Structure 1
Amino acid sequence: MNMNPIPIFKIFGIQVNLDFSWFIIFFLITFTLAEGFFPHFYPDYPSIVYWIVGSISAVLLFVSVLLHELSHSVTAIHFGIPVKSINLFIFGGVAMIEEEAPSPKIEFLIAAAGPLCSFLLGFIFFIMAYFYPTDDLLNGIINYLMYVNLALGFFNLVPAFPLDGGRIFRAILWTKKDLLTATKISSFTGTLFAYLLMFLGILSIFKGNFINGLWYGLIGLFLRQASKTSYEQTKFSVILSGYKVENFMQTVKPLLPDETVAEFMNFYYPFYRSSLYPVIGRDGRIYVLYVEDIKEIPQEKWNVIHVIDVAKPLIAYVSPYDSLYKALKIMNKYKLDEIPVIYGNTILGILKRSSIELLLERFLEEEKK
């Protein structure tokens, strides 16, 4: 069963969510620090103290991850690219940037912002450790955060898509090739790196280091799937961005407010077969009639109920000049299979998800040939 992430707060207008898998890694990090790292380097403290310090360090690690992802997000927003949310989960975090960067330069800057933030945090903790050389648990927390931020920065610079280094690599390739080709090459390096991690995981397990081997394997599996998924998303966005809504919409004549439900079901629905239909209200605004709502009305009442009495306010629409990619994102956001096409205050038609899916299927079939 899939569980929705837990919304925890908003920052710079970006929703920060906590995935349930985060609690697994939080416990594992706290356990590792409380039973291994701190007792080894800072002995002679009570066990409960190690667990408290370990949990504090785990929280601060995720604060570091959040700052890393915020750096990506704020940079994207600076260039006019919307960011839906930041999700913290078992492998760290991910900024849900909703659009591809419009140019290689912007892609480079967005990708580089995360590692730069991690290196900056590592340097800050290095300075703190320098001025606080006391051999105690506070020094231990500072040193731990210095090492993990530097490690986070270096790991993300590996040129393996969708890691930050892979996105930087893609941006460089993009200056010489098209976006899809650049993504395909950087995704291939991401897949190779994922297999390398899985191989190291197997090797570690054979050497008796089961925990390290397990993490190598899990991270490798995650990167392999993420690389494949990111490439597919980019491919679909490139394909769909090349087409306009006007070429795929179904032209419709809007309903007038005083038309009855029976007139709609007898004369409109059999022809258009749409799950929703635009209605012009008596106030001149555009409303939407949903077929599912009509099915709840007894058929003998269809002749006396006007469509405007059943219609609901318009929640989403697209322009005929929007790309299919933008239209699909809006449909996904509002969980719609069909959406009205409107220009100004004029109803032009309806765009169906099935039309977009047919286009993608055609491209996939051609790709297999």
Structure 2
Amino acid sequence: MKFKSIPLFKVFGIQVNLDFSWFVVFFLISFTLAEYFFPANYPGHSFVVYWLVGAVSAVLLFASVLLHELSHSLVALKFGIPVREIDLFIFGGVAMIEEEAPSPKVEFLVAAAGPVCSFLLSFLFFVLAVLYPQDDLLNGIINYLMLVNFALGAFNLVPAFPLDGGRILRAIIWAKKDLLTATKISSWTGTAFAYILMLFGVLSIVQGNLLNAMWYGLLGLFLRNASKISYEQTKLSVILSGYRVEQFMHTVKPILPDETVADFMSYYYPVYKSSTYPVIGADGRIYLFDVSQISSIPQNEWHQIKVYQLSKPVEVFVSPYDSLLKAIKLMNRYQVDELPVIYGNTVLGIIKRDVIESLVERYLMQEKMQES
């Protein structure tokens, strides 16, 4: 069972969410700091004080992670790349950047923004540590944040896709080759690094350090899967961005305001056989009719009820000149299988999910045949 993320707030128009897995890592970080880091370096305090300081430090760590991801997001927005949300979860955070960068230069700048932010935060906390040289828990928090932000920036610079360093590597290769080749090479480095982490996990088990083994193993599995998924998503983006909606849409005549359900079943449904239909409302606006609603209407009432009365205003649509990539992303975001195709105030047709998926399947099948 998958739980929905908890919405926290919006910043610069970007929704920030908290995944339930965050509570696991929050407890583990608080535990490690309260039971080991602070007692070892700042002795003489009570159990409650150590746990309070550990919890505060864990929250500040995730504030640093949020700033890291927000840096990626703001640079992406500057170059016109939409960012849907930022999720904080067990492995830190991830900015949901919805489109590939338009060029290697933009990819490089978006990827580099996160580590630069982390290193700047590390330097800021270093300055604070110098200005506050007291040997107490506040100094401990400052030193911890200095170290952990430096580690966050350095770890993300590992050239292993989809880490920031892997994206920087992809940008460099992309500048000389194509995006798909660059993604494939950087994905290989990501997979290799993932197996190195899992190897460290095995060595930690041999040494009896089960906590480290768990973290290395989980992080390795996460990076291996993320690297594979990111490559497949890039491949999908490259395929679908090369086609326009007008090439694959089904031409559909919109239903007029005075046409009844009986008219629809007689003249529209047998011809087009879609699950949704565009409707011209009495007010001249475009609406959308869901065919499944007919099942709840007795057949003897079909001549009395107008389709327009059962329709809802169009929430989302595509232009005939939009890419199939934009169409499938909108379908996924709004959880629909069909979208109306509208140009100006004219309904041209419907684009269906199964048509797009069939195109991708044919492409992948051809690719597999060429490889064999």
Question: Taking structure 2 as the reference length, what is the TM-score of the superposition?
Answer: 0.98
After TM superposition, list the pairs within 5 Å mapping 1:78-97 onto structure 2: 78-97=78-97
Deviation per CA, 1:4-25: give whole Å up to 9, x if none: 1000111111000000000000
- Matches of 2:132 and 2:279 in 1, distance apart? 69
Q: Which moved more, 1:204-213 or 1:154-163?
A: 204-213
Unmatched 5+ stretches in structure 2: none
Deviation per CA, 1:49-77: give whole Å up to 9, x if none: 00000000000000000000000001101
After TM superposition, list the pairs within 5 Å mapping 1:241-256 onto structure 2: 241-256=241-256
**Structure 1 counterpart of 2:24:** 24
**Structure 1 counterpart of 2:308:** 308
**Structure 1 counterpart of 2:51:** 51
Amino acid aligned to 2:107: E
After TM superposition, list the pairs within 5 Å mapping 1:3-18 onto structure 2: 3-18=3-18
After TM superposition, list the pairs within 5 Å mapping 1:311-326 onto structure 2: 311-326=311-326
- Matches of 1:240 and 1:261 in 2, distance apart? 36
After TM superposition, list the pairs within 5 Å mapping 1:128-277 onto structure 2: 128-277=128-277
Count of residues in Structure 1 that have an aligned counterpart in Structure 2: 369
Deviation per CA, 1:154-199: give whole Å up to 9, x if none: 0000000000000000000000010011000000000000000001
- Matches of 2:364 and 2:184 in 1, distance apart? 15
Identity %: 71
Amino acid aligned to 2:338: E
Q: Which moved more, 1:305-314 or 1:29-38?
A: 305-314
- Matches of 1:333 and 1:56 in 2, distance apart? 35
- Asked if the contact 1:22/1:88 (under 8 Å) is kept, the reply is yes
Deviation at 1:288, TM superposition (A): 1.0
Amino acid aligned to 2:226: A
Amino acid aligned to 1:187: S
Amino acid aligned to 2:342: I
Q: Which moved more, 1:308-317 or 1:62-71?
A: 308-317
**Structure 2 counterpart of 1:286:** 286
Tell me the SS of whatever aligns to 1:349: strand
Question: Taking structure 1 as the reference length, what is the TM-score of the superposition?
Answer: 0.99
- Asked if the contact 1:294/1:310 (under 8 Å) is kept, the reply is no
**Structure 1 counterpart of 2:359:** 359
- Matches of 1:142 and 1:240 in 2, distance apart? 48
- Matches of 2:128 and 2:255 in 1, distance apart? 68
**Structure 1 counterpart of 2:64:** 64
Deviation at 1:245, TM superposition (A): 0.4
- Asked if the contact 1:15/1:84 (under 8 Å) is kept, the reply is yes
- Matches of 2:37 and 2:79 in 1, distance apart? 42
Amino acid aligned to 2:309: D
- Matches of 2:88 and 2:10 in 1, distance apart? 13
Amino acid aligned to 1:53: V
Amino acid aligned to 2:35: E
Shift >6 Å, 4+ stretches: none
- Matches of 1:206 and 1:298 in 2, distance apart? 70
Unmatched 5+ stretches in structure 1: none
- Matches of 2:75 and 2:280 in 1, distance apart? 41
Amino acid aligned to 1:81: I
Tell me the SS of whatever aligns to 2:296: coil
- Matches of 1:149 and 1:219 in 2, distance apart? 18
Tell me the SS of whatever aligns to 1:264: helix
- Matches of 1:261 and 1:293 in 2, distance apart? 10
- Matches of 1:292 and 1:338 in 2, distance apart? 14
Deviation per CA, 1:208-227: give whole Å up to 9, x if none: 11111110111000000000
**Structure 1 counterpart of 2:296:** 296
Deviation per CA, 1:244-265: give whole Å up to 9, x if none: 0001000111111111101111
Tell me the SS of whatever aligns to 2:199: helix
Tell me the SS of whatever aligns to 1:7: strand
